[in-house]
Structure 1
């Protein structure tokens, strides 16, 4: 456009002046060339700028297209996540309902189980107390089916205080409870009042069951007393009394003996023919508790506990030494060397 205008202007000037010299014309042409060159440069710059703008627009279009694609992808992802979240929410609700149902069922089962445990506990408790009442002595154990002699636990007090005792399940129908048992002096019997009260020794070998236990086993019951002495040659001599019991500690464990039955030892406790030697009605004495009828302290002299009168013709708790005299006079047993074992057992009837 600018070139045309310059040409027209040049022609017009030429027509007006009519004459141009050659130098002027050359100069003018040079000017025009410069103008044209500048115009060309401007056009080239404009084309470059336009191309650059076109590139930028194309780039922006591509960017927008990419952005739109990303936006579309993100929207699709969001929609997918929404659907998945909705599915998870529904599943969680279902799980929560099932969990609540399971908790309720578990709670019901737990309640039922607790009731069953309570019932079983009560049943076992009843059975336990029945066993305790039944196994008050060896007779109860025998009635429970025990047939082998040995050490068992019994409950003479009717509560949870069980003790170990020796039970003879063979002799005379079985169910005999040993209250005294000695073998060759294995256990010292020169003991205090408290020790004779509580009991001492080992039921399997040698022991005294305890005066409290003897009282609880015999109070309010008819019991038979069996006494035996094994000689050094293993001969067993015995004596049996149809009534035997002792009182409580407050009454000093007084001995009540009656109804001699039979035996091979001879009566050395009930009707001895010696007033000083009959033992029924006598209090129990120990070296630290003198309750006998004599002027001397029989328990100190005889070094052990017994139902001394003044003093005795039968005494099974003496020291296994020369100090033990007259274990059982009616049988001719005057020294500890005459005795290998002793045994005192009771049985309710």
Structure 2
């Protein structure tokens, strides 16, 4: 298309130049001949040529204009800010025109020189031939222009298609993106609804947990208050008990100043809580004192009546009636409290009698009797014991309600002899027809002998024992 425009401009300029030269030189004949030739040449073809060429050019221009307009509009719509192309294209056209004009001027100068050397006839023929050549060339150029235009149009269509194809892809992508965005919006909406539902559930759970926490805190506070109240009540009670104990101790001390202790429980009430030897006043006479071993086990205040156990020098229990009345031995060794003292203690309160035994193999046993007490000398210190509990058998029940006997005063029920002298090592005790226990017998190593210290109901034998203790406390 560019070659066609350039050639057309050159031919037109050449034709105009020739005419100007002819007119300038006042060659009337040549001009007339030229007019005749032109009239003759164009008489038949001028109208058709001019019309067809003009219509063709107009159609080309119109199509080009329409195409350029559509293409420009499309380019403007698709590719914005594309002014650089127009600037480059304008520069190119200006350069093309400039070069074409230069060629025409050079050709005109050459033709002018040639024409000046030709004669008139030759000039006319040359013009005619030149015009024929131009027409032929123009016709050829028009064919080439048609081909070039078709090629250019096809190329432009390909370019447009190449442009439209990515645009179509972009449009398709945009549709996909639009659909994706729409789906994402729906998903976001759905997620928002889910989040709102979850938020409502969480809010409800939090509200429930807060209410539960409030209840738990209230319950914890209530329990803490109750614990504090219980602890306070316990502390107050403990302190009250301590105060009562102190008051009791004070009372016992005051009482001890006014009334001396009758037994070990009285000693305990006076504030003495450790095992040991204490003074008691069993006759209720402040001038008659007995030293006795007090067993404060469990705060019970046991008064020891009889102790038999191993010693470097064993105590002799073959004693007279008077000695058994007053007592003998040492409270920390072997010991007998005395019948008068036992009567003095038991006449005020019935006692619990506890008997503790140990054999030579290390076995330990015990027996307890409720309601123990003895009469005075008038009744020969008759013994009374009640209900038995223990793990060594009831050997003392046979001696219940019996009078006390010694080797020098026979008060037992055995008519043909004295149990204290014949069978039981001359120790005093509450014998019936002798008996089943010999607490005051002779101290012996492990052997079977009724004269030794024995508790027959334990293993149903007269096996001698290593230790035996009698102790009492008020019921």
Which TM-score band (shorter chain)? Answer: 0.5 to 0.7
The corresponding residue for 1:319 is 442
Matches of 1:285 and 1:333 in 2, distance apart?
Answer: 24
Secondary structure, aligned partner of 1:142: helix
1:300 aligns with 2:428: no
1:138 aligns with 2:264: yes
Q: Summarize deviations over 1:153-173 as a string: whole Å, max 9, x none.
A: 111111221110011011x54
Matches of 2:269 and 2:353 in 1, distance apart?
Answer: 19
5 Å-filtered alignment, 1:160-309, equals: 160=286, 161-170=288-297, 172-184=298-310, 186-260=314-388, 262-270=389-397, 278-295=398-415, 296-301=417-422, 302=424, 303-309=426-432
Bigger fraction of residues in helix: 2
**TM-score, normalised with respect to structure 2:** 0.43
Is the 8 Å Cα contact of residues 280 and 292 (structure 2) preserved in structure 1?
yes
> CA offset at residue 333 of structure 1?
6.5
Q: Whose RCO is larger (CA < 8 A, sep 6+)?
A: 1
> CA offset at residue 151 of structure 1?
0.9
The corresponding residue for 1:158 is 284
Matches of 1:195 and 1:333 in 2, distance apart?
Answer: 32
Is the 8 Å Cα contact of residues 313 and 326 (structure 1) preserved in structure 2?
no
1:347 aligns with 2:435: no
Q: Summarize deviations over 1:219-246 as a string: whole Å, max 9, x none.
A: 0312100011122233321100011011
Matches of 2:291 and 2:460 in 1, distance apart?
Answer: 31
The corresponding residue for 1:65 is none
> CA offset at residue 325 of structure 1?
4.7
> CA offset at residue 332 of structure 1?
2.2
Q: Summarize deviations over 1:192-243 as a string: whole Å, max 9, x none.
A: 0000000000011111000000000000312100011122233321100011
Matches of 1:237 and 1:286 in 2, distance apart?
Answer: 27
Matches of 2:257 and 2:316 in 1, distance apart?
Answer: 34
Aligned pairs, number? 214
Is the 8 Å Cα contact of residues 133 and 155 (structure 1) preserved in structure 2?
no
If you compute each CA radius of gyration, which structure gives the higher value, 1 or 2?
Answer: 2
Matches of 1:223 and 1:282 in 2, distance apart?
Answer: 17
> CA offset at residue 128 of structure 1?
7.7
* Structure 1: runs of 5 or more not aligned: 1-125, 271-277
> CA offset at residue 143 of structure 1?
1.7
Matches of 2:414 and 2:269 in 1, distance apart?
Answer: 44
> CA offset at residue 130 of structure 1?
3.6
**TM-score, normalised with respect to structure 1:** 0.58
CA RMSD, aligned part only?
A: 2.1
Matches of 1:259 and 1:323 in 2, distance apart?
Answer: 26
Matches of 1:310 and 1:299 in 2, distance apart?
Answer: 10
Matches of 1:250 and 1:168 in 2, distance apart?
Answer: 31
Secondary structure, aligned partner of 2:442: coil
> CA offset at residue 134 of structure 1?
5.0
> CA offset at residue 323 of structure 1?
5.8
With over 3 angstroms needed to count, the CA separation of the structure-2 counterparts of 1:209 and 1:333, relative to structure 1, is: farther
Matches of 2:468 and 2:456 in 1, distance apart?
Answer: 14
With over 3 angstroms needed to count, the CA separation of the structure-2 counterparts of 1:192 and 1:251, relative to structure 1, is: same
> CA offset at residue 285 of structure 1?
0.0
Matches of 2:459 and 2:428 in 1, distance apart?
Answer: 22
Is the 8 Å Cα contact of residues 325 and 334 (structure 1) preserved in structure 2?
no
Secondary structure, aligned partner of 2:259: helix
Matches of 2:337 and 2:265 in 1, distance apart?
Answer: 16
Matches of 1:245 and 1:265 in 2, distance apart?
Answer: 22
Secondary structure, aligned partner of 2:457: helix
Q: Summarize deviations over 1:59-92 as a string: whole Å, max 9, x none.
A: xxxxxxxxxxxxxxxxxxxxxxxxxxxxxxxxxx
* Structure 2: runs of 5 or more not aligned: 1-251
Matches of 2:306 and 2:258 in 1, distance apart?
Answer: 22
> CA offset at residue 131 of structure 1?
4.0
